[in-house]
A and B are shown apart, each in its own frame.
Chain A
C-alpha cells in the first residue's frame, strides 16, 4: 500500500474536496468535514494488495474513490471465498465502529484502488468529544449497515435457486 502525504494545507484542501465529493459524505457540514479531514489520508492499493486481514485491528476504514475491493473469508480447503465486492463511491470497513475493533473478514483490491483511509481511533475520539458529529456519523453508517444486512439476507434466501 502506498500512503500519500497528509498534513500540509494543500493536501488537506485536496482531501476536503475528495471527502465532500464522496457519496458517503455528501452534504456534510463544513465544521464536520474539517474534523473528519483531520483523520484522513489518501491511499493507493495495487491489484492483489490487501486492505486488511481478518483478525487484525480495525484501525481504519476506507472511502473508495476508484477500483474495486473484494470482501472475503478464507476456508481451509476452499480458499478465499468472496461474498461481496465494493466499488467507487462505497465504503469498506464497518468493524471499526464496535468493540473489539477487529476485522471480521479480508479485504483485497481487485484492481488498482484509490481510497481515502480514515483513522478509526481518531474519528472515534472526535465522535466521543462531539456527539453531534457522532450522531451525524451514525446516520451515515446506519443505512449502509441496513443495506448490507438486507443484501446478506437476500443472498441467504438463495432466490435464484431451483425453488425460486
Chain B
C-alpha cells in the first residue's frame, strides 16, 4: 500500500524498526555504514568475539549524519547485518553490554565464507554495518519475575546482553537461573565471566555433551538441568536460545516443569538477507524472523516449530 510520500506500508514499518523518523531511514537501513574493528578475542574453537565501532558518516553536505551516528545502541536480542567487503553480509546477534553505546560486540562462529572472513578480521579492519534490527528479549516483562535462561552452544551469545542488563539492574528481577549446554569443556563460552555472574546472584549451571578430560561440571544435555533448577514455575519467564532441536527439547522440559507457554521466549535463526522484512528469505510461516523476531513468544510460533519445510 503506497502512501502520499511514495513509500509503502512495509517501508514505514521498516522506518519504525530502525528508529529513524524520516523517510531516508528506509535507505539508511539498506546501506551499510562503516565500522572499524577495535579488538578480536578467541572464545573457543572457531568462535571469535569482535568489538567494532561505527564511524561517523557525513551526509552529502559534509555534516554529521544523525541517522548514521557513532551511537551503537543495540537492545538485548537484536542483531546487526555485518558485511565483509568483497565477501558478503551475514546476520549476527549483538553479544555485548547494551549500555555501552560506543561500540558493538558480536560473537561469531566461523562456519561459512562470510563468518569465516569475519572471524579473521584484525583490529583496524573495516566492516559494513546495518542495524540494529528485530525484536529482542522481553526485558520489561521479565521484571519482578524469576528468569530461567536456557542456552545451548553459541546461543549464549545473544543472551549475554540480557545478562549484562540483569547484572546492572539485579534488584528488578527475581531468581535468575542460567542453564547452559556446550559441546565440550573447550566450547564453553564466556567462562571467565560466569564467576562474576555467580557473584551477582545468578545461578549458573553448565553442562557439556562430551568430555574426556578432568572436567568437574555436569555432563549431559542441557534439558537435564531444567528439572534440577530451583525456580518458581508459576512466576517464571524463560528465554531460550540455541540450535532449534535443543530449543524444542528445552521447551518441552520447561513446560513439564510448569512454565506457561506464554512465558517462554525463543530466538529463531533463519537465513536473513534484507533484515527489514522485504526479501522473504527468512519467512517463517506468517512472520518474518528478521522483522517480527528473532525473539518470539513460544505460544505464537509453537505450531511452526519442527516443521520440515515452511
Task: Point out residues on A near B: beta carbons under 8 Å.
Answer: 68, 70, 78-79, 81-85, 87-90, 110, 147, 150-151, 154-155, 157-164
Task: Point out residues on B near A: beta carbons under 8 Å.
Answer: 46, 109, 111, 152-154, 181-183, 187, 207, 209-212, 215-221, 223-224, 227-228, 242-243, 245-246, 249
A81 vs B185: C-alpha distance when bound (angstroms): 13
Contact B219 A154 (CB under 8 A): no
Contact B218 A160 (CB under 8 A): no
A163 vs B182: C-alpha distance when bound (angstroms): 14
A158 vs B184: C-alpha distance when bound (angstroms): 10
Contact A160 B187 (CB under 8 A): yes
Q: Shortest beta-carbon distance, A66 to chain B, in Å?
A: 13
Contact B228 A88 (CB under 8 A): yes
Contact A162 B111 (CB under 8 A): yes
Contact A160 B212 (CB under 8 A): no
Chain A, Cβ-Cβ closest to B46: A162
Given A84-B220, A151-B224, A154-B246, the answer on whether A159 and B152 have CB atoms closer than 8 Å is yes
Chain A, Cβ-Cβ closest to B45: A162
A54 vs B160: C-alpha distance when bound (angstroms): 41
Nearest 3 pairs of A and B residues by beta carbon = A160-B153, A160-B183, A164-B243
Contact B243 A89 (CB under 8 A): no
Chain A residues closer than 8 Å to B152, beta-carbon distance: 159-160
Chain A residues closer than 8 Å to B217, beta-carbon distance: 85
Contact B181 A160 (CB under 8 A): yes
A88 vs B224: C-alpha distance when bound (angstroms): 12
Chain A residues closer than 8 Å to B111, beta-carbon distance: 162-163
Q: Shortest beta-carbon distance, B206 to chain A, in Å?
A: 11
Q: Shortest beta-carbon distance, B157 to chain A, in Å?
A: 13
